[in-house]
Structure 1
Amino acid sequence: MRPGSVALALINDTDMQACEVYETSIAYAVFGDPQPDLADPWYDLRLCSVTQPSADGVQGFSVRTRHGLDNLVTADTVIVPSVPDGVVSRGERLPPEFIDALRAAAAAGARIASLCTGAFALAEAGLLDGRRATAHWMHTADLAKRYPRVEVDDSVLYIDEGRVLTSAGMSAGLDLCLHLVRRDLGAHVANQLARRMVVSGHRPGGQAQFVDLSVPTTDDDSLGPVMDWAARHLDQPLTVDVLARRAGMSTRTFFRRLHAATGMTPLKWLLNQRLARAQTLLETTDLPIEQIGEHSGLGTAANLRRHFTLHVGVSPTDYRQAFGTVPARRARV
């Protein structure tokens, strides 16, 4: 499957603070560095801006782009990494030509995404009206107040509304970028890319933006090891009691700590792990659906189909046809 073109929409108006370097960098790292052994061709990345910046970049940085806003209209995916601080903190206006370009790109069928405060640009363009959206939790109150037609959720890492996606700040922006790769090229490619970047392969969008530090922790920090163990034994009957005993905690303490760390109940976390395992097996093996259900811990083929269709959006067979990479060879499971 061809991943298509990605346009990073930057606002470099010299009257405003330059775009946030971090969000732009993570998007560039995901989409701009070719990975021919994972997918060839890779994404065609373009940096597009309103104007060329002055020589004095913010904190010593400046961004010079080859492309203008007209390239947004022809892109398959448009990402707004952030907006200048003055737009969020002082209510400064975004350049009208920038908003018009976002609307034109959406009308042309582009997938539109924002990282962190980039959601303010999408909201100004009316692309979030009637939709769920998120941003960094420090800015979601301002987003909701300024754009009452947007259903703002400050508790999640990112939100996928199909053609429009938004994320919280910092590392959540990387989660969203990897989520887009997962949608376009499958779980195996996204996981391998994440491994190269030394980050988690898949943090679901519904995971909490931050950990509740009021939840007591243990000295040996046994939550991480038990989660790793569970991910390696998904084909076994795992319950909350089993995981709690392995972690050396009471069931209640384990439930609270896992929920604080992931924003999910233990059973929801297990389901996500099993679905991710099923995705990998569908992509990298020719195992029958029945065996994939067994190896992933989802049970019968009917149960696998039900959960997969509900949470991934397509049937296991359709997913394999779209992302399968080794149809003639069985991989070790």
Structure 2
Amino acid sequence: MSTEDHPAKKMKMDEKVIGTHNGTFHCDEALAVFLLKRTKAYANAGLKRTRDPAVLNTCDIVVDVGGIYDEKTQRFDHHQRGFEEIFGHGFETKLSSAGLVYKHFGREIIANRLQISEEDPKIDTLWLKMYKEFIEAIDAIDNGISQYPTELKPRYRINTDVSKRVGHFNPAWNEKVDAETVDAKFLQASAMVGTEFLDRLDYYANAWLPARDLVLEALNKRKSVDPSGRIVLFESFAPWKEHLFELEETLAIPEAEKPIYVLYPDETASNWRIQAVPVSPESFESRKALPEQWRGVRDDALSQLSGVDGCIFVHASGFIGGNKTKEGVLRLANLALHM
């Protein structure tokens, strides 16, 4: 028995209805439905899963079925010939129903979750971050877009990404179930992927974004640490690498003033670290590694070699070192800059 025919699921006359297709479900519409339920317009909406055009035409919004993308009529399908909608803002992956819903409703969903105004500058930052880190992969997988531009044979398979996990909620090919059971499994899948979305959003809002603010503050103050602007100092540790590269671009920092070394207290807050900035976030190569003659040397031997008291170590690759004091790592950074 389909959702639209089941007496227990008849919708109230004044209740809005979200429509999507029945049968086998995928991550994109499972997330799209969850996201719509986090908007003011559709928070209390019912759900109809069907492919019957006459039934879909009674719905207030339709996702992932119907062959139409039209914001004015609240139709958000992506399967029709000629559909090439992308998120924009530097993203070029074709959207699925999840990306379409997120593109149009994402700012409101984030604002509702954080209980702040949509005009708050945090909203756009988080809106773009969540697309990059969570939604885009769902769009690409649903549209059959390879992660790599050329065909490479993978060394192993990944069957634990969120799109695959949603798919695992579907009944097995030889499992005999009725439409009501499939609808219930869809709701379970939607709740699962939606909960992961909210968990990620909470992390980015409450941990990632505050770290970004700390990195921005340190970048703006770096010339008070060293006139060259090449040394960044954090009074407390914060994840800095990803933010530093993004903010360098945002602030249009000239190449000659980009940071070379980052200084911060270690996890015990009793010692300090000096870390060379890599050439890119994923690279093991540094913009300027710590001096070769310091590498692999420790403690008093390193203090004698460098002329800086309190040295603890310099890694054999030269990407990181330690000293007992802030003054010590600052002295090491000043020396390394000119060696």
User: TM-score w.r.t. structure 1 length?
Assistant: 0.31
Larger radius of gyration: 2
User: TM-score w.r.t. structure 2 length?
Assistant: 0.30
